[in-house]
Amino acid sequence: MSDPFSTLGVGEDADDDQIKQRYLSLVRLFPPDREPQRFQAYRAAYEALSDQRKRLETKVLGTRDAALGPIKSHLLAPSKPVCARASKTTVTALLIDGIDRSCGQDGTA
């Protein structure tokens, strides 16, 4: 499972109440009937953080790949408002990535 702290978007020092509030707000934003996959991910993350022992297990026995997130955000910090355009080449590359990923889902091609 991916890092439950970053899945829920909470800090490692968040307490039971903060985690629960965050989880409930996410479930309200992405209800299970509309976003079942996303809901499952949030649910699993919440289960993993729902009490102090589980949070300690997650912290001690796991690693946080998502710790790179803030670095990425820093590198992507805009120097001007978001209104510039991407090149056709970049859009094509994104589409090719997307085609490739979509062809490798569901255990089939």
List of residues contacting another protein (CB under 8 A): 2, 6-9, 26, 29-30, 35, 37, 41, 52-53, 56-57, 60-61, 63-88, 90-109
Nearer residue to another protein within complex by CB, 17 or 82 = 82
In angstroms, give the least distance from the CB of 85 to another protein.
5
> Mapped to the 3 state alphabet, what secondary structure does the chain carry?
CCCHHHHHCCCCCCCHHHHHHHHHHHHHHCCCCCCHHHHHHHHHHHHHHCCHHHHHHHHHHCCCHHHHHHHHHHHCCCCCCCCCCCCHHHHHHHHHHHHHHHCCCCCCC
Nearer residue to another protein within complex by CB, 17 or 85 = 85
In angstroms, give the least distance from the CB of 56 to another protein.
5
In angstroms, give the least distance from the CB of 77 to another protein.
8
CA 63 to chain centroid, in Å, comes to 15
In angstroms, give the least distance from the CB of 55 to another protein.
9
